[in-house]
Amino acid sequence: MHCQTSSCDTARLAPGQSLHIAVDAGTAFIVTAGRLRIDESPRWIADVCVPVGRTVDEGAQHVVERAGWITLSALGAQVAWRRLPTALPTARPRWPAWAWARRGAGA
């Protein structure tokens, strides 16, 4: 089910099959054929456990909000999808320490 060579390879599920995988937040799934059901970990809202899931049609994509285990399920016919890796966070520009010290001195 999961591609060993590259995380961008196409993977498939037969009708009725499900796959449980661990993903990072920000992982994207693009459905290239069929309909895919993606169920994420439930969320706690005001002491109530709320299920989080979405059905993704062919040509659409879904980005996982939180890291954790998800379930991918084929709805109807065979499903094919691509899993895109999480984008690496960009480094936030930082002021050097001397700039803050100088700024505080009134220079």
Q: Summarize pLDDT for 24-61 with one digit per residue, the tens.
A: 888 888 999 999 999 888 888 888 888 888 898 999 98
Q: What is the count of structural domains for the chain?
A: 1
**103: in domain:** no
Q: Summarize pLDDT for 3-32 with one digit per residue, the tens.
A: 444 455 678 889 989 999 988 888 888 999
**73: in domain:** yes
**37: in domain:** yes
Entry pTM? 0.67
**28: in domain:** yes
Q: How many whole angstroms separate alpha carbon 22 and alpha carbon 58?
A: 23
CATH number of 73's domain: 2.60.120.10
Q: Summarize pLDDT for 64-97 with one digit per residue, the tens.
A: 888 889 999 998 888 888 888 766 555 556 656 6
Closest CA to 36 of 20, 60, 52: 60
Q: How many whole angstroms separate alpha carbon 73 and alpha carbon 12?
A: 10
**91: in domain:** no
Domain of residue 45: give its range. Answer: 10-86
Residue 2 pLDDT > 60: no
